Amino acid sequence: MDADCLTDDPVRRDTVEVDVTVLCDAVAVFPEPIAEALPGWSPEQQAWTESEAPGNVAPDGGWLLHFHSYLVTSDRHAVLVDTGIGPAGGEAALWLGTTGRLPRLLESAGVGPAEIDTVVLTHVHLDHAGWNTDGDHPRFANAEYVVQQAELAHAQDSATYRNLIEPIAAAGQLRAVEGRTAVAGLTLLPTPGHTPGHQSVLTDRAVLAGDVLVHPAQARWPELVYVYERKPAVATTSRRDLLRLAAETGLPIAAAHPQTALSGQATGVAGTACAGGLLRL
Ligand SMILES: [Zn+2]
Ligand SMILES: [Zn+2]
């Protein structure tokens, strides 16, 4: 990624003042051993995680993932960033052996599905698009769903695309963007590597980083590669760029799977640990 696109007046140029609410769709243990998911996983990294990010450690020491969507509200917009693992019987729910609770959390946050005007998908993976539809139709009937063009091209032969993107496109609610884009008072930043068209969302309160960091230890060790990253070297560069942006701006990085937001210095940000549901960042 071009470093300039992150450092060029990153916060003020296209962003408005917002509230960010964490909607924790689910918590589940990663189905594979952590040393297979994160090759080279070391005792030092395990000890660091137990001390700095205990909310991502399962009782047996394995990898406990959160599945966070983010509700971003301003006086003009209600934006949902990612839509979680989805309902019982869906692909992600079956994979993880649990079900999502996002509709309930959204209701608790006082926002009805029809009030969401924009859905940003960081990328097209089953655990980030699970509540896109109500089965056949877009769940968020008045929303534009915004995805990078490169991501749509990459994902278009997948079951996730067929099940969770095609109904959005058929309803005329899918918007493809290319590169850094201002949307609903927020800034979308390409952060490729995990997938080719992965994007993050820059707000004035946090960087919503999808799967740039799937595990909190990747903030401390950006070179720690996740086995399902399509381009590990590119993913590592995106991690370093976002960590530098966070360090320079003081904005926390709120990714999808860590329990807490992380600072540019790879420490958990106080007051951001989700404790089962809804949390204002
Ligand atoms: Zn959570
Ligand atoms: Zn994910």
Q: What is the pLDDT of residues 167-202, one digit of tens each?
A: 999 999 999 999 999 999 999 999 999 999 999 999
The count of C-alpha atoms lying within 13 angstroms of the C-alpha of 197, restricted to the half-sphere facing its C-beta, is: 21
Where exactly are the structural domains of the chain? Answer: 4-280
Expressed in angstroms and rounded, the spacing between residue 275 Cα and the centre of ligand 1 is: 6
Q: What is the pLDDT of residue 4?
A: 44
Expressed in angstroms and rounded, the spacing between residue 209 Cα and the centre of ligand 1 is: 14
Q: What is the pLDDT of residues 78-100, one digit of tens each?
A: 999 999 999 998 889 988 889 99
Expressed in angstroms and rounded, the spacing between residue 264 Cα and the centre of ligand 1 is: 20
Ligand with smallest separation from the Cα of 256 = 2
Q: What is the pLDDT of residue 8?
A: 52
Expressed in angstroms and rounded, the spacing between residue 111 Cα and the centre of ligand 2 is: 24
- Whether residue 242 contacts residue 209, with contact meaning beta carbons closer than 8 Å, is answered with yes
Look at domain 4-280 and name its CATH class. Answer: alpha beta
Expressed in angstroms and rounded, the spacing between residue 170 Cα and the centre of ligand 1 is: 32
- Whether residue 81 contacts residue 254, with contact meaning beta carbons closer than 8 Å, is answered with no
Backbone angles phi, psi at 229, to 5 degrees: -70, 130
Ligand with smallest separation from the Cα of 258 = 1
pLDDT > 80? residue 222: yes
Q: What is the pLDDT of residues 210-221, one digit of tens each?
A: 999 999 999 999
| Residue spans of alpha helices (H) in the chain | 4-7, 34-37, 43-52, 91-96, 102-108, 149-155, 159-160, 166-170, 217-220, 232-249
pTM above 0.85?
yes
Strands of 253-254's sheet in order across: 181-183, 186-190, 199-202, 207-208, 253-254
More confident residue, 265 or 166: 166
Residue type, 21: T
Question: Count of CB atoms within 10 A of residue 226's CB?
Answer: 18
Q: What is the pLDDT of residue 185?
A: 93
pLDDT > 50? residue 7: no
Q: Alpha-carbon torsion 123, 104, 62, 161, what sign?
A: negative
Around ion ligand 2, residues with a beta carbon closer than 5 Å are: 127, 211
**Tokens representing residue 147 in the block:** 């995805």
Q: What is the pLDDT of residue 268?
A: 86
- Three-class secondary structure of residue 253 per DSSP: strand
Q: Alpha-carbon torsion 42, 47, 52, 56, what sign?
A: positive
User: Which burial class, exposed, middle or buried, applies to 165 when counting CB atoms under 10 A from its CB (0-12, 13-18, 19+)?
Assistant: buried
Q: How far is CA 116 from CA 177, 204, 252, in A?
A: 19, 19, 24
Expressed in angstroms and rounded, the spacing between residue 106 Cα and the centre of ligand 1 is: 14
Ligand with smallest separation from the Cα of 65 = 1
3-state helix, strand, coil in the chain (%, to 5): 30, 20, 50
Q: What is the pLDDT of residue 3?
A: 44
Ligand with smallest separation from the Cα of 277 = 1
Expressed in angstroms and rounded, the spacing between residue 94 Cα and the centre of ligand 1 is: 19
Average pLDDT, the chain: 93
Of 128, 266, 254, 257, the closest CA to residue 198 belongs to 128
Q: What is the pLDDT of residues 90-146, one digit of tens each?
A: 889 988 889 999 999 999 999 999 999 999 999 999 999 999 999 899 999 999 999
